[in-house]
């Protein structure tokens, strides 16, 4: 039975908990016992541990049956695929100096995975590499991956704890100890980032720093193997986990990582129970024997049920997590009704706009002139009218008189605007202008210019170019809402996103900036500001081209990390102290109009501890398009991405 029900996240794989078992000749009994004990799946060895190809009778010329446990008929196909994750023999060592062991290991690995694939298992757990050099192991796994269609291979990696004081890096050493992330990184690079290769993390009794652990949230971790030795004992003699282990497990739950309980019961309450496995003298199916690891399972379930409920907005966005979308082209393309409707539901955004307009009206018109002065407000890029409505509500709230021009280039949205004005009785207040704001000649100057032209990176939907064209009909002392906006970036590990781009097998997709609801990512350093635009901008040297070099340094206790690209955000000042944005530290609560932007790297960059990461970003402007170029110059030089806007650009 799953660990619990989390509202809005019922499909999360982290609800299911498995148990690692020893080898058994009676797979149906083993499975029934484990399922009756509350576990959702088992992780058993697929082959008798005593099997070695070199010890087999050579007289059979290889035609003899392999000594697997029973046959595929002992369980139904749905049981194999839904309740069994295979475990490859842990003795294999494909990088051994012993040639016989090495050959036996390769034969066994291929036999077991072929059998697992025949059984239609969803995944197999590969044993951890025996050393830091695992090239032959990776080569064999990579060969196997080329012929797999669906089954995942989970490489077992122990969460080794590096020392935090003193940083050295010879041969994957960190602080004088092996950094297990380095072993994983080497293995996946040798396997060319194959999408079916993932991680099974062995969670030990001691853990690295939280910064070091944070790297794994951007990696394809499918399961955390929680050994009973990692548990503490509470006052009642039952198992519990340290605060650090609890935080780690909570993070795994939130990233759909499943838990597998491994080891023997080590707590006093369980001393009367049998060892993990099958006791053929007992009738397990009738439930006469409690599973020796049930208390560990119950504790993991308790932690799962303690999770904070997923906020309503997060539940809506679950389907968009790590899903790549091309940014909007609002100048080139007319938005569809469904797109307008989605954005119009974002009440948090329009509450902020209404606050900004109200403050601007109060500053613009003193109380004694409220009944005699009419403020001219222009909404440029009015869409289907949400900013018009917010502005008129601000006028009503502040008791100010308003005359509104709603400028919109999309003729389809203009139809809706006319209908809205008639429906609301705004004919004497609102004038609708069907025109591109850059071409319209206004009959009078505006006191306030309001727009919602911002993109995920602030300027990426060409707000600077549009507002530069519109500010000519703003009074010299007029107010622009927004008045400024700044973009931010930070380096991230994002294996899933990188692998999704990799499937396209072309340059274009690696040189495109995507809008994406980031989820399975590791944010490796605090974000830094990139480009700032201010409106109105009356400088004679005004240019919307920008260039920025940024230096990031990963926290010293993080260890090495692989950079797949940069996450981008924005923060906008609408008016005075009224802000709007998605920059994580100042993000507007419950706002969903913008997801972060992601700038990928064609080839991920590995950053060692203490080594700075230098990022260069350009905003380039041509006669008909605007585009970004980006690269890394330290610790190694990358190609300049998207040169001359060859792959990704925004049309003017």
CATH number of the domain bearing residue 360: 3.40.50.150
Instruction: Give pLDDT tens digits for 582-604.
Output: 999 999 999 999 999 999 999 99
Instruction: Give pLDDT tens digits for 142-151.
Output: 999 999 989 9
| Rg, C-alpha atoms of the chain | 30
Q: Could you tell me if 407 and 362 lie in one domain?
A: yes
pLDDT higher than threshold 90 for residue 645: yes
- Determine, yes or no, domain membership for 468: no
Q: What does the pLDDT read at residue 184?
A: 96
The mean per-residue pLDDT over the stretch 269-292 comes to 49
Domain boundary among 436, 452, 468: 452
Q: How far is CA 404 from the centre of its chain?
A: 42
Secondary element (H or E) of residue 210? helix 210-214
Residue 205 has which token pair?
Answer: 């009794």
pLDDT higher than threshold 50 for residue 271: no
pLDDT tier for residue 190 given thresholds of 50, 70 and 90: very high
Domain boundary among 452, 470, 500: 452
Tell me if 7 is assigned to a ligand binding site. no
Q: What does the pLDDT read at residue 138?
A: 97
Q: Could you tell me if 273 and 129 lie in one domain?
A: yes
Within 8 A by CB and 6+ apart from 56, the residues are: 64
pLDDT tier for residue 167 given thresholds of 50, 70 and 90: very low
The mean per-residue pLDDT over the stretch 87-95 comes to 95
Q: How far is CA 70 from the centre of its chain?
A: 41
pLDDT tier for residue 289 given thresholds of 50, 70 and 90: confident
Tell me if 350 is assigned to a ligand binding site. yes
The mean per-residue pLDDT over the stretch 452-476 comes to 94
pLDDT higher than threshold 50 for residue 473: yes
pLDDT higher than threshold 50 for residue 168: no
Number of domains within the chain: 3
- Determine, yes or no, domain membership for 41: yes
Q: What does the pLDDT read at residue 58?
A: 54
Domain boundary among 249, 275, 310: 310
Tell me if 51 is assigned to a ligand binding site. no
- Determine, yes or no, domain membership for 318: no
CA atoms within 13 A on the CB side of 373: 16
At residue 604, φ and ψ (nearest 5 deg) are: -60, 150
Cα separation of 344 and 336, whole Å? 12
Q: Could you tell me if 135 and 24 lie in one domain?
A: yes
Do the beta carbons of residue 390 and residue 350 sit within 8 Å? yes
- Determine, yes or no, domain membership for 441: yes
DSSP 249-307: HHHHHHTT-EEEEES---SGGGTTSPPSS--TTS-GGGT-S--TTHHHHHHHHHHHHTS
Residue 474 has which token pair?
Answer: 């703003």
Do the beta carbons of residue 458 and residue 531 sit within 8 Å? yes
Within 8 A by CB and 6+ apart from 34, the residues are: 19, 21, 41, 42, 291
Percent of the chain, pLDDT > 70? 91
Global pTM reads 0.90
Q: Could you tell me if 111 and 176 lie in one domain?
A: yes
Tell me if 336 is assigned to a ligand binding site. no
The number of beta carbons lying within 10 Å of the beta carbon of residue 124 is 26
Active site residue 7: no
Q: Could you tell me if 497 and 432 lie in one domain?
A: no
- Determine, yes or no, domain membership for 247: yes
The mean per-residue pLDDT over the stretch 429-445 comes to 94
Q: How many helices (H) does the chain have, and how many strands (E)?
A: 16, 28
Do the beta carbons of residue 380 and residue 413 sit within 8 Å? no
At residue 260, φ and ψ (nearest 5 deg) are: -125, 125
Candidate from 96-100, 119-123, 266-270, 618-622 with smallest mean pLDDT: 266-270
pLDDT higher than threshold 70 for residue 177: no
Tell me if 436 is assigned to a ligand binding site. yes
- Determine, yes or no, domain membership for 474: no
pLDDT tier for residue 155 given thresholds of 50, 70 and 90: very high
Residue 362's domain comprises 337-452
CATH of the domain at 590: 2.70.160.11
Q: What does the pLDDT read at residue 7?
A: 62
Q: Could you tell me if 210 and 359 lie in one domain?
A: no
Q: What does the pLDDT read at residue 536?
A: 93
Q: Could you tell me if 420 and 552 lie in one domain?
A: no
Instruction: Give pLDDT tens digits for 509-568.
Output: 999 999 999 999 999 999 999 999 999 988 877 899 999 999 999 998 999 999 999 999
pLDDT higher than threshold 60 for residue 412: yes
Provide the greatest CA pair distance for the chain: 107
Q: What does the pLDDT read at residue 477?
A: 95
Instruction: Give pLDDT tens digits for 440-450.
Output: 999 999 999 99
Which entry of 219, 452, 583, 629 is annotated as an active-site residue?
452
CATH of the domain at 31: 3.20.20.150
pLDDT higher than threshold 90 for residue 237: no
- Determine, yes or no, domain membership for 180: yes
Q: What does the pLDDT read at residue 8?
A: 60
Q: Could you tell me if 392 and 491 lie in one domain?
A: no
253 vs 330, which has greater pLDDT? 253
What average pLDDT does the structure give for the chain? 90
Q: Could you tell me if 364 and 292 lie in one domain?
A: no
- Determine, yes or no, domain membership for 460: no
Q: What does the pLDDT read at residue 5?
A: 66
Which entry of 106, 461, 511, 583 is annotated as an active-site residue?
461
Q: Could you tell me if 410 and 502 lie in one domain?
A: no
Secondary element (H or E) of residue 628? strand 625-634
Candidate from 96-110, 282-296, 351-365, 616-630 with smallest mean pLDDT: 282-296
Q: What does the pLDDT read at residue 13?
A: 83
Q: What does the pLDDT read at residue 652?
A: 86
Q: What does the pLDDT read at residue 311?
A: 82
Tell me if 591 is assigned to a ligand binding site. no
pLDDT higher than threshold 50 for residue 608: yes
Q: Which residues pair with 618 in a beta bridge?
A: 547, 629
Q: Could you tell me if 496 and 634 lie in one domain?
A: yes
Q: What does the pLDDT read at residue 285?
A: 43
Instruction: Give pLDDT tens digits for 239-250.
Output: 999 999 999 999
**Helix, strand, or coil here: 392?**
helix
Active site residue 461: yes
Residue 321 has which token pair?
Answer: 């997590």
The mean per-residue pLDDT over the stretch 325-352 comes to 88
**565 backbone φψ class: left, alpha, beta (φ>0; ψ -120 to 50):** left
Q: Could you tell me if 132 and 224 lie in one domain?
A: yes
């Amino acid at each position: 039975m799953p660990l619990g029900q989390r509202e809005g996240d019922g499909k999360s794989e982290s609800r299911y908990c498995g148990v690692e078992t020893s080898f058994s000749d009676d797979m149906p009994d083993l499975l029934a016992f484990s399922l009756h004990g509350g576990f959702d799946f088992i992780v058993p060895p697929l082959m008798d541990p005593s099997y070695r190809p070199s010890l087999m009778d050579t007289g059979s010329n290889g035609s003899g049956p392999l000594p697997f446990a029973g046959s595929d008929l002992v369980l139904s196909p749905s049981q194999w695929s839904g309740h069994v994750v295979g475990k490859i023999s842990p003795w294999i060592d494909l990088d051994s100096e012993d040639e016989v062991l090495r050959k036996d290991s390769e034969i066994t690995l291929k036999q077991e995975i072929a059998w697992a694939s025949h059984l239609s298992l969803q995944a197999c757990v590969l044993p951890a590499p025996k050393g830091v050099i695992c090239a032959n192991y990776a080569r064999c796994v990579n060969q196997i991956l080329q012929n797999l269609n669906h089954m995942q291979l989970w490489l077992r990696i122990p969460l080794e704890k590096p020392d935090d004081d003193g940083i050295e890096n010879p041969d994957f050493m960190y602080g004088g100890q092996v950094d297990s992330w380095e072993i994983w990184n080497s293995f996946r690079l040798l396997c060319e980032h194959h999408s079916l290769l993932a991680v099974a993390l062995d969670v030990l009794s001691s853990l690295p720093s939280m910064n070091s652990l944070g790297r794994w949230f951007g990696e394809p971790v499918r399961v955390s193997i929680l050994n009973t030795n990692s548990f503490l004992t509470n006052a009642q003699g039952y198992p519990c986990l340290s605060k650090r282990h609890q935080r780690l497990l909570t993070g795994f739950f939130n990233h759909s990582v499943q838990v597998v309980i491994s080891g023997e019961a080590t707590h006093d309450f369980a001393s009367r129970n049998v060892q993990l496995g099958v006791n053929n003298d007992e009738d397990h199916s009738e439930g006469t024997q409690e599973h020796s690891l049930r208390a560990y399972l119950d504790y993991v379930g308790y932690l799962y049920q303690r999770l904070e409920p997923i906020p309503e907005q997060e539940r809506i966005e679950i389907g968009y997590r790590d899903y790549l979308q091309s940014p909007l082209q609002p100048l080139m393309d007319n938005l569809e009704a469904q797109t307008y409707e989605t954005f119009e539901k974002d009440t948090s955004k329009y509450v902020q706009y209404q606050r900004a307009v109200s403050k601007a009206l109060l500053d613009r018109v003193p109380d004694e002139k409220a009944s005699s002065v009419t403020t001219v407000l222009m909404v440029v890029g009015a869409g289907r009218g949400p900013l018009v409505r917010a502005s008129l509500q601000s006028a009503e709230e502040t008791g100010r008189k308003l005359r509104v021009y709603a400028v919109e280039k999309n003729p389809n949205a203009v139809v809706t605007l006319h209908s809205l004005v008639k429906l609301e009785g705004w004919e004497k207040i609102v004038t609708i202008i069907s025109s591109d704001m850059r071409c319209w000649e206004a009959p009078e100057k505006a006191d306030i210019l309001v727009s919602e032209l911002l993109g995920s990176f602030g300027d990426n939907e060409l707000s600077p170019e549009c507002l530069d064209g519109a500010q000519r009909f703003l009074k010299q002392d007029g107010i622009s809402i927004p008045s400024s906006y700044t973009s931010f970036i930070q380096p991230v590990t994002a294996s899933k996103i990188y692998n999704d781009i990799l499937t396209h097998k072309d340059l274009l997709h690696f040189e495109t900036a995507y809008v994406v609801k980031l989820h399975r990512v590791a944010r490796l350093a605090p974000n830094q500001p990139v480009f700032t635009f201010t409106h109105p901008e009356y400088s004679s040297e005004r240019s919307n081209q920008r260039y920025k070099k940024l230096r990031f340094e990963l926290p010293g206790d993080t260890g090495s990390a692989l950079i797949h690209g940069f996450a981008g955000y924005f923060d906008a000042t609408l008016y005075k102290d009224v802000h709007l944005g998605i920059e994580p530290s100042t993000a507007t609560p419950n706002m969903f109009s913008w997801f972060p932007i992601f700038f990928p790297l064609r080839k991920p960059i590995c950053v060692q501890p203490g080594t700075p990461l230098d990022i260069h970003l350009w905003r380039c402007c041509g006669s008909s398009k605007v585009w970004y170029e980006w690269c890394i110059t330290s610790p190694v030089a990358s190609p300049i991405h998207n040169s001359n806007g060859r792959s990704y650009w925004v049309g003017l």
